Amino acid sequence: MYLLHLTTFAAAVIAIPVVKDEFAEGPNHWYSLAKMDLEKAERVIRNTNKAKNIIIFIGDGMGMSTVTAARIYQGQKDGRRGEEGYLHFEKFPHVSLIKTYNVDRQVPDSGATATAFFSGIKTNFYTLGMNSLAKFNTCNVEIGKKAHVKSVLQWAQDSGRDTGFVTTTRITHATPAALYASTPNRDWESDMDIPESEREKGFCKDIARQMIENSPGRNTKIILGGGLGKFRNVGNKTSRLDNKDLIQEWKDDKYQHGTSYRFIENRDQLSDPTLLDNEYILGLFHSNHIPFELDRNSETTAPTLLEMTTTAVKFLQKNNKKGYFLAVEGGRIDHAHHLNLGAKALEETVALSKTIEAVTKMVDLENTLIIVTADHSHGFTVNGYPGRGNNILGLGDTDKYGLPYTTLLYSTGPGLPSHMHKSPEDPSRPFMNLTGFDTTNKEYLQRSSVYQADSSHAGEDVPVYAIGPMAHMLHGVHEQSYIAHVMGYAAEMGPYSKQTLAMDNTYEQSYITDILSYDAIMDPYSKESLTT
């Protein structure tokens, strides 16, 4: 029913229903809400079980303003005013804020942020799966060996768990690639993307090859997303200079190891009931990224994020008694924001929320830790003074010239030139006269303050939501790298596995020393600080 509604909705201009006979929100209403929230808070119990399973959802570019706008957007699609609602993950009992800066940048990119929450260390802008020793865009074999870091995907496999990841982007794109690849440039997705000067050195593998040839990529049980063009030449378009067919190499590897496998390319193959009988599944449903939700139509063959993720969970649930790790990325939220396409960004966010809701109902939260977060935010604002229930995609206020502007705006991006005019009172000031324009259309570009062909990220903290074993460890404000440590600690894997801790009896003491040193530095009123 949801898929039918989504397809129908995507085919037309967005029309949000008008709500009539709204209830009066007097004092009793707010007291009742507060009482219910207090009762919920009293019932929150810390789940200190070991996490058998971990599922982490990443809304790429899903900053706090995106969550707020998507919450209203979803509510208005459902016939309500919108502000009073919640996205599903906003109901999770544990919430934290995460600092997203890179080692060398105030405002981050997705490669370095994904390295942080998947590997537990912060690193340099635009590098991937490497610590801050790595030099951007430069192959160096010695530095490469020293800079390589293991991800939570490797930790999970080392612990005996089955693993998988799902994305609406190319599977070689920055966020999923940080699970399995190590590279000084996140854009080196195929050999064709590597500059000739670096390619000739011969020891920097492109990301697609690393996924097929190296651990932990080659040992990942289920991988679903886009990006077929990075693994072999598609049609008449050359995307690999080496002419390798990495999909065939993946099949050959599984055959040689005597395991069952299946490669799939469309949603019909994904829904085949015999699919889950295989030991390995690789699904690449588009040569590039999976289409935006609002661009789906009757000819779209790629599955939705909901379909891919629920299939992955069913597959991972059926086999391994030791549990599983699954990463899921709603990656096209970010892409829509880069283009100043607010409607598409919000629809992608709602699709992620619906996916999380479906998965939450499929798993046992007594032994499954679910984390929802973003890699970074965007310069995307919910602003002006629109009335309650005003269309979130509509006009929200007027400027000093009496001209309307939208509730949703961007700080940077391609939205500025559209319909741009000069003010008759102040010719130095550009503005857009939106009178008569349909700002609710899915292709409408919200106005930006600074013109860029591609909108920039934002640097503010992003939220993280959690439920399940050890979810209470996500509280307060933390570095983004902390998320990987929570997953490792909750599941007793990676640096927190019993074997690792037994091998390194200095770990606990060094950890305590680091914490004490950190507290001394951060507290200006500590004895140590006052003495010095």
Binding annotation: 60, 173, 175, 329, 334, 338, 375-376, 457
Q: Is 110 a catalytic residue?
A: yes
Given the residues 65, 96, 110, 377, select the one marked as catalytic. 110
For 434, which DSSP code? Answer: -
Q: Indicate the annotated binding residues for Zn(2+).
A: 60, 334, 338, 375-376, 457
Please state whether the peptide bond connecting residue 216 to the residue before it is cis, i.e. omega within 30 degrees of 0. Answer: yes
Structure tokens at 17: 């229903």
Structure tokens at 19: 């709500």
Please tell me the distance from the alpha carbon of residue 313 to that of residue 303, in angstroms, as a whole number.
Answer: 15
At position 183, the amino acid (one-letter code) is T
Q: Indicate the annotated binding residues for Mg(2+).
A: 60, 173, 175, 329
The residue length of the chain stands at 532
Question: CB neighbours of 313 closer than 8 A, spacing ≥ 6?
Answer: 55, 326, 359, 362, 363
Q: Which long-range contacts (CB under 8 A, 24 or more apart) does 433-437 make?
A: 433/403, 434/395, 434/403, 434/404, 434/405, 434/406, 435/403, 435/404
Helix (H, G, I), strand (E, B) or coil at 352: helix
Helix (H, G, I), strand (E, B) or coil at 292: coil
Structure tokens at 502: 């037994």
Distances (CA, A) of 105 to 109, 128, 370, 409: 9, 15, 29, 24
Distance of CA 51 to the CA centre of its chain: 21
CA 242-243-244 angle, to 5 degrees, is 90
What stretch of H or E contains 226? strand 222-226
Q: Give the pairing type, strands 395-398 and 404-406.
A: antiparallel
Distance of CA 176 to the CA centre of its chain: 9
What Rg do the C-alpha atoms of the chain give, in angstroms?
Answer: 24
Catalytic residues: 110
